[in-house]
């Protein structure tokens, strides 16, 4: 019976995000679901149904979509799931958000869905999604004169009108930080590969334009991040 509900939810989610302008097109949701299934192999103890449903529904009420915040719950109620299962799925989804920082005391299910989502913002796919997001929002690709703003508050991070908010700076605002926000062991291994790809991409991007200052900026940024990692 659970398998049938999952299949129904795959269809629901694909449809819901079909024309999503916020970087959560339906292929993102399917990749997050598949990442979560991969991470579940390591963590047999997790509740598989809760993880799969939360992965498929995690962006339904994303703040960028201007929903009333109740669409996930409405959908779950339409399935006639038990109230405690609905609560568990909603609680799992609430643990997945980059802008709210690294959360401690997450449940195993929250850790898996959060890792699965973050992996999809890294690597080759992460590069494509950042470019897609910026072009939809009419943000520039790169401005050699504008370096990223450091220590962003959540409001600054979300402010698309900020002059520093362009595609390349988004790597420094978010993408290069994700590796340190991963919880599961399988997730960490995969994140490391995807992180290396982000660095190679940026190095080539700067080298091709003789942007030595940016190359130096990248390398000192990475050193700082490594220091912070040790201190945490
Ligand atoms: P997620 O579903 O991974 O939580 P977000 O809702 O934060 O993602 O954003 C959707 C996608 O768009 C992600 O791949 C993210 O890296 C990218 N993105 C978000 N904000 C920006 C931005 N200001 N510039 C470029 N890309 C962005
Ligand atoms: Ni997502």
* Segment 187-222, tens digit of pLDDT: 999 999 999 999 999 999 999 999 999 999 999 999
The gap from C-alpha 220 to its chain's centroid, in whole angstroms, comes to 24
Average pLDDT over residues 99-115: 83
Report whether residue 23 contacts ligand 1, using a CB cutoff of 6 Å.
Answer: yes
Indicate the SS3 state at residue 127.
helix
Pocket test for ligand 1, best of 36, 133, 143 (most atoms within 8 A of CB): 133
CA distance 106 to 104: 6
* Segment 217-226, tens digit of pLDDT: 999 999 998 8
Average pLDDT over residues 71-90: 96
Q: Which of 139, 144, 132, 135 is nearest to 159 (CA)?
A: 139
Q: Which of 121, 102, 113 is nearest to 43 (CA)?
A: 113
Asked whether residue 1 carries a pLDDT value surpassing 90, the answer given is no
Q: How far is the CA of 232 from the centre of ligand 1 (A)?
A: 25
Residues 53 and 6 sit within 8 Å (Cβ to Cβ): yes
Report whether residue 24 contacts ligand 1, using a CB cutoff of 6 Å.
Answer: yes
pLDDT band at 72 (very low <50, low <70, confident <90, very high): very high
* Segment 144-164, tens digit of pLDDT: 999 999 999 989 998 999 999
Report whether residue 190 contacts ligand 1, using a CB cutoff of 6 Å.
Answer: no
Residues 130 and 140 sit within 8 Å (Cβ to Cβ): no
Residues 198 and 175 sit within 8 Å (Cβ to Cβ): yes
Indicate the SS3 state at residue 112.
helix
Residues 197 and 123 sit within 8 Å (Cβ to Cβ): yes
Q: How many other C-beta atoms lie within 10 A of the C-beta of residue 110?
A: 22
pLDDT given for residue 3 in this prediction: 94
Query: Quick one: which ligand is closest to 173's CA?
Result: 1
pLDDT given for residue 176 in this prediction: 97
Indicate the SS3 state at residue 231.
helix
Asked whether residue 22 carries a pLDDT value surpassing 90, the answer given is no
Q: How far is the CA of 38 from the centre of ligand 2 (A)?
A: 16
CA distance 158 to 165: 9
pLDDT above 70 covers what percent of the chain? 94
DSSP 170-225: HHHHTGGGGGGG--SHHHHHHHHHHHHHHHHHHHHHHHTTT-HHHHHHHHHHHHHH
pTM: 0.94
pLDDT band at 34 (very low <50, low <70, confident <90, very high): very high
Q: How far is the CA of 118 from the centre of ligand 1 (A)?
A: 10
Lowest mean pLDDT among 47-56, 93-102, 156-165, 198-207: 93-102
Q: How far is the CA of 133 from the centre of ligand 1 (A)?
A: 7
Mean pLDDT across the chain: 92
pLDDT given for residue 68 in this prediction: 85
Ion ligand 2: residues, Cβ under 5 Å: 59, 117
């Amino acid at each position: 019976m659970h398998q049938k509900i999952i299949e129904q939810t795959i269809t629901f989610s694909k449809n819901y995000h079909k024309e999503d302008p916020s970087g959560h097109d339906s292929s993102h949701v399917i990749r997050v679901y598949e990442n979560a299934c991969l991470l579940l192999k390591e963590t047999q103890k997790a509740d598989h149904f809760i993880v799969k449903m939360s992965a498929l529904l995690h962006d339904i009420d994303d703040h960028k979509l201007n929903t009333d915040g109740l669409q996930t719950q409405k959908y779950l109620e339409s399935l006639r799931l038990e109230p405690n299962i609905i609560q568990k799925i909603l609680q799992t989804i609430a643990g997945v958000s980059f802008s709210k920082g690294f959360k401690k005391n997450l449940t195993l299910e929250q850790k898996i869905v959060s890792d699965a989502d973050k992996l999809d913002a890294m690597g080759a796919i992460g590069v494509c999604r950042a470019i897609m997001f910026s072009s939809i929002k009419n943000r520039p690709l790169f401005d050699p004169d504008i370096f990223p703003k450091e220590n962003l508050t959540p409001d600054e991070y979300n402010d698309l009108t900020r002059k520093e908010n362009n595609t390349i700076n988004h790597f420094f605002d978010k993408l290069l930080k994700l590796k340190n926000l991963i919880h599961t062991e399988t997730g960490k291994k995969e994140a490391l590969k995807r992180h290396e790809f982000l660095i190679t991409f940026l190095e080539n991007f700067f080298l091709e334009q003789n942007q030595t200052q940016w190359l130096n900026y990248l390398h000192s940024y990475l050193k700082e991040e490594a220091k912070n990692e040790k201190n945490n």
